Chains A and B, each alone.
Chain A
Amino acid sequence: MSGPLLQVKGLSTHFFTQEGVVKAVDDITYNLAEGETMGLVGESGCGKSVSALSILRLIPNPPGRIVAGEVLFQGQDLLQMGDDEIRQVRGHRIAIIFQEPMTSLNPVLTVGRQISEALELHLKMDHKRALERSVELLNMVGIPDAGRRIKDYPHQFSGGMRQRVMIAMALSCDPKLLIADEPTTALDVTIQAQILELIKNLARETGTAVMIITHNLGVVARYADWVNVMYAGKIIESAQAGELYAAPRHPYTLGLLASVPRLDQPRKTKLAPIEGLPPDLSALPPGCSFRPRCPYAVDRCAVEEPPLLEVAPGHTAACWVDVRVAKKTAGVVHG
């Protein structure tokens, strides 16, 4: 197949609430190639989950609505599909792992039943074969004694094991794309490392493309080939992981990288936080949304919104200023 696996073009998803229109996702465009791992980073509420859920049309309506855009998956626009068609895509060609495994597993069904159900539905396996395959999958994600454990219910597993069950379910139908929405935030660091390593290895073996959603810049550095940084509903920087970390071009990315302490660097006496607060998505300032917190802001930023433009080959950023040469301007507007 030629062309990228997933092409998201001008996707906008808004929530129509009493307080006003929340532009949770506002005109985002990106591609994801087959077998590639993309990291989607940004702080809480910037639209990461909504952008992922929009791909599968899992936005609650009302109050939400995908108001514009195309989502081409293997060349087909998912937003134009009939309900039956999109249901065939979900959990089969595109699988999603949610942040909180307990809420996404059915508490009254055994783990074996939950995995085998999808296999029977999507791959038309008979019940016996589906159960066998379920055991194989649980083995693959490192659940010991899987043959016996398929009869257990989700609450009988630890948080890390539940997350592994979710991964087994997600991978059960050989998806072409796996979306992992903060797959490890609720887990301990050592378990987190286990799970991410597992996703990476399985994706490599099966050639599955992966979208990892996280606010942890370290996780992205370790696992992603490509990074999209989101702020206030928009992608504000996009580059190959190596390039993004070595030569960030958006002040927000720069700020994020500077604000976290790093184990591999000499300890600093002070961290360099991003001042101020993330914006209210229903009352965005004119111009660039990051301007009130931006140490490089110039007059133009208050009136004209910067487009996402190529700043180096394969590297785009949405900023009027060239942070490599610009001086920090004083007067950040607080809170």
Chain B
Amino acid sequence: MVSAQSDGKVLVDVQDLKMYFPVTGGILFQRKVADIKAVDGVTFAIKEGETLGLVGESGCGKTTTGRCILQLYKPTAGKVLFEGTDLISLSGGAMRRMRRRMQLIFQDPYGSLNPRMTAGAIVEEPLKVHGLAKGRELKEQASELLRTVGLNPYMADRYPHEFSGGQRQRIGVARALAVRPSFIVCDEPVSALDVSIQAQIINLLGELQEQFHLTYLFIAHDLAVVRHISDRIAVMYLGKIAEVADRKEAYENPLHPYTKALLSAVPIPDPLVEAKRERIILTGDVPSPLNPPPGCSFHPRCPYVMPRCSQVTPELKEVSPGHSVACHLY
């Protein structure tokens, strides 16, 4: 939210990240073991205090990218630098200490909270694990955290099922904040919530970012929400980055045909605007990462496809300061 890329210091630097999931057994693949190239050479940087929005269709590798950054998966290749330190090469102990600095907010406010723990206990747990508080102080900090995310501390004794979806997501946010992280991966934090509740959580995330000077990787598929919350946008398609640009540039001057189609697919809640809008309706389905099309993986659906597109994979290149695109048109 803060347009403070002021000092422009890079906090998270992702370089040529790859995450391949092996496919073993099964009837089809008994002999040959294939790879799902969930993330296939992703490069981007997130500056301190900014929000990078990561968008793309289901299965394109957004969650996997986020989890690789947090070292919840061990990447197949590539580097993840956090304040210049390569996380992949860190020892177990050093990584554990580093983990405090980076947290995850999940998409699913139902599945991500332990149903047998009270809201208070859920928020206290990370404080205990990292030895940040105990005894009375523990209780006080937990109450304070609940208050920070807009819940009443008297709710600390309740169990997750006694909360609404939006309230549960607030508990998830409080849990992530408990250890005073500097970086949070927000994986579709509002997708499962009702429209009327989404705005509450988005505002909360914005306020917390200012208050605690947080850096966000904000994963979502709602481009209007991403525009609202992000300083820069990265668009993913089938494990690769298609385009990266500042918010304004990404929305006003999108270059990649996929970005254009994504934007045009977002309906605008105003029939008068909709009636006049130009639409790009893609044909075909999202391809499988198990068997991606050769060349540019978007070429079978691309309205501007050229012969080269099915042969040569386009590199991500900077076409104007801060605006990179992977497309043979540029």
- Tell me the A residues contacting B by CB distance below 8 Å: 43-44, 142, 158-161, 188-194, 197, 215-222, 241-242, 245-246, 255-257, 259-264, 267-275, 277-278, 335
Tell me whether A245 and B195 are in contact (CB under 8 A). no
- Candidate in A43, A142, A221, A272 with the most chain B CB atoms within 10 angstroms: A221
Tell me whether A189 and B57 are in contact (CB under 8 A). yes
- Tell me the B residues contacting A by CB distance below 8 Å: 1, 57-58, 164, 166-167, 194-200, 202-203, 206, 221, 223-225, 227-228, 247, 251, 261-274, 279, 281-283, 285-286
Q: In the complex, A177 Cα to B283 Cα: how many Å?
A: 26
Q: In the complex, A246 Cα to B273 Cα: how many Å?
A: 11
Residues of B with C-beta under 8 A to A222: 267-268, 271, 274
**Can you name the residue of chain B whose Cβ is closest to the Cβ of A252?**
B196
Residues of B with C-beta under 8 A to A261: 224-225, 227-228
Residues of A with C-beta under 8 A to B279: 193, 197
Tell me whether A188 and B271 are in contact (CB under 8 A). no
Residues of B with C-beta under 8 A to A256: 195-196
Tell me whether A262 and B197 are in contact (CB under 8 A). no
Can you list 21 A-B contacts with CB-CB less than 8 angstroms, sorted by A residue number?
Answer: A43-B196, A159-B58, A190-B282, A194-B281, A194-B283, A197-B279, A216-B267, A241-B271, A242-B272, A245-B271, A255-B196, A262-B270, A263-B224, A263-B266, A263-B268, A271-B203, A273-B196, A273-B200, A273-B203, A274-B196, A277-B166
Tell me whether B194 and A278 are in contact (CB under 8 A). yes
Q: In the complex, A68 Cα to B184 Cα: how many Å?
A: 51
Tell me whether B266 and A189 are in contact (CB under 8 A). yes
Tell me whether A218 and B199 are in contact (CB under 8 A). no
In angstroms, how far is the closest chain A Cβ from the Cβ of B167? Answer: 7
The interface residues of chain B, by DSSP majority, are classed as helix
**Can you name the residue of chain A whose Cβ is closest to the Cβ of B151?**
A335
Question: B268's contact among A160, A161, A218, A267, by CB below 8 Å, is which?
Answer: A218
Tell me whether A270 and B203 are in contact (CB under 8 A). yes
Q: In the complex, A217 Cα to B261 Cα: how many Å?
A: 20
Residues of B with C-beta under 8 A to A194: 281-283
**Can you name the residue of chain A whose Cβ is closest to the Cβ of B273?**
A264
Residues of B with C-beta under 8 A to A259: 195-196, 198-199
Q: In the complex, A226 Cα to B57 Cα: how many Å?
A: 30
Q: In the complex, A158 Cα to B263 Cα: how many Å?
A: 23
